[in-house]
Amino acid sequence: MRHSLRAEWTKVRTLRGNTWLAVGIAVCTVLAAAGATAAVSTAQCPTVTTCYEDTARLALRGVWLGQALVVVFAVLMMSNEYGTGMIRTTLAVMPRRVEVLFTKAAVILGIVLATGAMGVLGSLLVGNVIMPANGFTPANGYPPLSLADGPTFRATFGTVLYLALIALLALGVTTVLRDTAVSITAILGLLYVVPVMSTFVTDPEWLDRLRRISPMTAGLAIQATRDLDRLPIGPWPGLGVLAAYAAVAMIIGGVIFVVREA
């Protein structure tokens, strides 16, 4: 197992594109968060004290962009080997396919957890800098975002887990499809289709149903820190929906990877 992990880590760090993608996960998450928080102010509310904005969720909104880079990173970790034919060499050296997939998942998870944590924590810091200037101050009922606050900690920790589950979902789907473009299109379509469709669905009951089964919409419920009773699904059950998608993708991908020729 140790040799397999070392081999996968070597593949990651010797390809410059992977390094830039990993860094981009953190950077793009923070930049997108800065743009999202800068675009919202209490001036857009009836009064500064009746805005009822979920500031933690607002600060973490950059994950909408960061997750796309997580998808690309995880897809390339598998599809590149098929595209170059390197998968045959990998399986010749490490014939136990379950171990190959497990170590690949472990390396991807380690990198995404690290870069995701940096992006999420950076988003909170940026939020604490930008939002007070937009009227979200303690005097108006918006205390600074702090990990000492239970709901904020849960939203922060859960968002990092969300990115890790997105990576596993992408790896599982790519193991089945093998093609880079097809895999990226399929996964991003699965993530973003419900938010796009919700602009056309007028029936509230059907809209809630779609949101409860959508991997992204349900998964990002973990970021909510207020008005939880208004959510179509709770924070942890919502993350569980995404975990189910990731588990199914990995199981199907693992079975196909074991029985299919390289």
Full residue range of the structural domain in which residue 223 is found: 2-31+56-119+147-259
Structure tokens at 105: 């998942």
Q: What is the pLDDT of residue 99?
A: 87
Ranges of the chain whose pLDDT falls below 70: 1-4, 7-8, 49, 261-262
Q: At what angle do helices 16-38 and 97-130 cross, to 10 degrees?
A: 30
Quickly list DSSP for 143-190.
PPP-TTSHHHHHHHHHHHHHHHHHHHHHHHHHHHH--HHHHHHHHHHH
Domain assignment of residue 142, yes or no: no
**CA–CA gap between residue 124 and residue 255 (Å, rounded):** 40
Is there a domain that residue 197 lies in?
yes
Contact of 187 with 169, CB cutoff 8 Å: yes
User: What pLDDT digit, counting tens, does each position of 93-117 carry?
Assistant: 777 888 889 999 999 999 999 999 9
Task: Report residue 198 as tokens.
Answer: 């919700």
Rounded to two decimals, what is the model's pTM? 0.94
Question: What is the rounded distance in angstroms from the CA atom of residue 156 to the CA atom of residue 201?
Answer: 30
Residue 158 lies in a domain: yes
Is residue 189 a part of any domain in this protein? yes
Q: What is the largest CA-CA distance in the chain?
A: 66
The predicted-structure confidence for 231-240, as pLDDT tens digits, reads as follows 999 999 999 9
Alpha carbon of 200 to those of 185, 210, 218: distances in Å? 22, 12, 18
SS3 category, 255: helix
Cβ distance 126 to 26 under 8 Å? Answer: no
Q: CA geometry: angle at 139 spanning 134 and 140, to 5°?
A: 55
> How far apart, in whole angstroms, are the C-alpha atoms of residue 159 and residue 25?
13
Whether residue 139 is contained in a domain is answered as no
Position 205 in a domain:
yes
Which amino acid is it at 12?
Answer: V
List of residues 6+ apart from 173 with CB closer than 8 A: 75, 183, 186, 187, 249, 253
Domain count, the chain: 1
Q: How far apart are CA 118 and CA 116, in angstroms?
A: 5
Pair 125, 27: CB distance under 8 Å: no
User: What pLDDT score was predicted for residue 3?
Assistant: 65
Domain assignment present for 138:
no
Residue 68 lies in a domain: yes
Asked if residues 162 and 235 have their Cβ atoms less than 8 Å apart, the reply is no
Could you tell me if 166 and 242 are in contact, meaning their C-beta atoms sit under 8 angstroms apart?
Answer: yes
